Amino acid sequence: MIIEKVVTNIENLSKEEIEKHHIEKVYLDSSDLVKRIQRVKTDHGKEIGIRLKEQRDLIAGDILYMDEKDIIMIDVTSDDLIVIRPRSLNEMGTIAHQLGNRHLPAQFEGDEMLVQYDYLVEELLNQLEIPYEREERKVKQAFRHIGHSHG
């Protein structure tokens, strides 16, 4: 089976619609969400080729295939993350500036800033006394570097 487009995302379906289907999952590392062409295997052993025609990243919950009884969807394996919980706007600005200077990609969930684990970031947070925790957590999207040059 070759998948050329994402059908929808599981979050767009009603609970009743989801319950009518048997769900198979394709588990990807968050770094693989940016790959438009890849060969994967479902948790039931079915091999699938992904060759997306549109320029888009995959997102956790994306449905690759759906018929009356089956759904094949993307799920993401857990990442080793630093979850930063600044206590003030000043702390958020300080750490965002420091991480931006290092060109580290970050994601935000509520009041939390998520970055992939790096011992240098951990040392920086300790030095700046900004609260954080190291957690294994699933993210919905890939950590993406934003193209930038100092020119």
Q: What is the CATH number of the domain that holds 83?
A: 3.30.70.790
My answer on whether 63 and 93 are in the same domain is no
pLDDT at 39 over 50: yes
Residues 14 and 63 in one domain: yes
What end-to-end distance do the CA atoms of the chain give, in Å?
45
Q: What is the residue range of 45's domain?
A: 2-76
Residues 54-112 have pLDDT tens digits of: 888 899 999 999 999 999 999 999 999 999 999 999 999 999 999 988 888 888 999 89
Q: Are both 64 and 106 inside the same structural domain?
A: no
pTM beyond cutoff 0.85: no
**In a shared domain, residues 58 and 9:** yes
Task: Determine the Cα–Cα distance for residues 114 and 84; give it in Å rounded to an integer.
Answer: 6
Average pLDDT over residues 32-47: 93
Tens-digit pLDDT profile for residues 40-52: 999 999 999 999 9
* CATH number of the domain enclosing 29: 2.60.260.20
Tally of domains within the chain? 2
Alpha helices in 12-88 (DSSP H): 15-19
Is 53 in the same domain as 83?
no
Residue 149 lies in a domain: no
Same domain, residue pair 87 and 129: yes
Locate all alpha helices (DSSP H) within the chain, ordered by sequence. Answer: 15-19, 89-101, 119-128
